[in-house]
Amino acid sequence: MSPHDERIVLCMKWGTKYGPEYVNRLFAMVQRHLSGPFRFVCLTDDERGVRAEVQCLPLPTLDLAPGADRGWPKLTTFKADLHGLAGTALFVDLDIVIVGDIAAFFEQPGEFLIIKDWKRPWRVTGNSSVYRFRIGAHADILQRFVEDQAGVRKRYRNEQEYLSHALHEQGKLAYWPKGWCCSFKYHCIPSWPSNYWREPVIPTGTRIVVFHGEVNPPDALAGRRNRRFRVMQPARWVGAHWTE
Confidence grade of residue 78 (pLDDT, cut at 50, 70, 90): very high
Q: Which residues make Cβ contacts (< 8 Å) with residue 37, sequence separation at least 6?
A: 1, 6, 7
Which helix (H) or strand (E) is 90 found in, with range?
strand 88-92
DSSP character at residue 135? T
Q: What is the mean pLDDT of residues 173-186?
A: 96
Please determine, for residue 237, whether its predicted confidence score (pLDDT) is greater than 80.
yes
State which amino acid sits at residue 128: S
Report the CATH architecture of 3-96+112-175: Alpha-Beta Complex (3.90)
The domain limits of the chain are 3-96+112-175, 181-241
State which amino acid sits at residue 152: V
CA–CA distances in Å: residue 163 to residues 87, 109, 114, 169, 193: 20, 19, 10, 10, 37
Please determine, for residue 27, whether its predicted confidence score (pLDDT) is greater than 70.
yes
Please determine, for residue 18, whether its predicted confidence score (pLDDT) is greater than 90.
yes
Does the pTM surpass 0.85? The reply is yes
Instruction: Give residue-wise pLDDT tens across range 140-159.
Output: 999 999 999 999 999 999 99
DSSP character at residue 55? E
What angle is formed at CA 20 by the lines to CA 31 and CA 90, rounded to 5 degrees?
45
Instruction: Give residue-wise pLDDT tens across range 190-233.
Output: 999 999 999 999 999 999 999 988 899 999 999 998 777 789 99
Instruction: Give residue-wise pLDDT tens across range 43-74.
Output: 999 999 999 999 999 999 998 877 666 689 99
Give pLDDT, residue 4: 65
Q: What is the mean pLDDT of residues 239-244?
A: 95
- Nearest CA to 12 out of 32, 30, 26, 31 is that of 26
Instruction: Give residue-wise pLDDT tens across range 80-126.
Output: 999 999 999 999 999 999 999 999 999 999 999 999 999 888 899 99
Helices 139-147, 159-169: inter-axial angle, 10-degree rounding:
120
Cα Rg, the chain, nearest whole Å: 18
Neighbouring-strand partners of residue 131: 91, 114
